[in-house]
């Protein structure tokens, strides 16, 4: 899915949704869209000042309870 030999597996239904959304949103490719979304999400965690802040962000997103 990504250049440089890196691969991330995504189930077919999700990939179909990614392709559809990336096309409608005007991205050059599904890979470009995924890259943008991941960069944006990672930036939120990099802004956290401590592990507790990261834990709270993950809890707020529903990843942990």
pLDDT of residue 24: 96
**Is 4 within the bounds of a domain?**
no
pLDDT tens figures, 27-60: 999 999 999 999 988 887 777 767 777 787 778 8
Q: Is the dihedral of CA 55, 58, 64, 65 positive or negative?
A: positive
**Is 29 within the bounds of a domain?**
yes
Dist CA 31 CA 37 (whole Å): 10
**Is 49 within the bounds of a domain?**
yes
For 16, 37, 39, 40, the CA distances from 56, given in Å and listed in that order, are 31, 20, 19, 18
**Is 56 within the bounds of a domain?**
yes
What pTM did the predictor assign? 0.66
Total number of domains constituting the chain: 1
**Is 3 within the bounds of a domain?**
no
Dist CA 11 CA 24 (whole Å): 20
**Is 22 within the bounds of a domain?**
yes
**Is 31 within the bounds of a domain?**
yes
What residue numbers bound the domain in which 33 lies? 12-61
């Amino acid at each position: 899915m990504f250049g440089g030999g890196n691969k991330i597996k995504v189930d077919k239904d999700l990939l179909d949704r990614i392709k559809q959304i990336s096309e409608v949103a005007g991205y050059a490719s599904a890979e470009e869209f995924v890259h943008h979304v991941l960069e944006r999400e990672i930036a939120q965690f990099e802004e956290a000042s401590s592990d507790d802040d990261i834990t709270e962000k993950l809890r707020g997103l529903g990843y942990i309870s």
